[in-house]
Amino acid sequence: PQRAIAGMMRCLDQKGTLFIFDINPKKLMGRFICRLEALLNEPAQFYEPEEVRRLLISHYCSVKIRNYGWRYAVIASGLAKP
């Protein structure tokens, strides 16, 4: 995930906002979806919201998390270059 986040940061300007919508693997439905994708040999990998928050904060972002049942949204803004 570090390389993916770094790539996103390169594409956004300092006033940009990043939205990430994902499945929470800690929720019952999220675990089910993760297992189903693994059974189907899908290469998907799901991360907990707090892990995504930590990654984005390490890139100097202000981060908000919104939970929607077994899904969540991460909104990162205030991107700044170190």
Maximal CA-CA distance, the chain: 41
- Whole-prediction pTM value? 0.81
What is the overall mean pLDDT for the chain?
Answer: 89
What pLDDT does 79 receive? Answer: 64
Which stretch of DSSP H or E encloses residue 53?
A: helix 49-57
* Per-residue pLDDT band at 14 (split at 50, 70, 90): confident
In the 8-state DSSP scheme, what is residue 12? S
Q: Give residue 27's pLDDT band: very low, low, confident or very high (50, 70, 90).
A: very high
Question: Per DSSP, what are the bridge partners of residue 74?
Answer: 20, 65
Supply the pLDDT for residue 2: 82
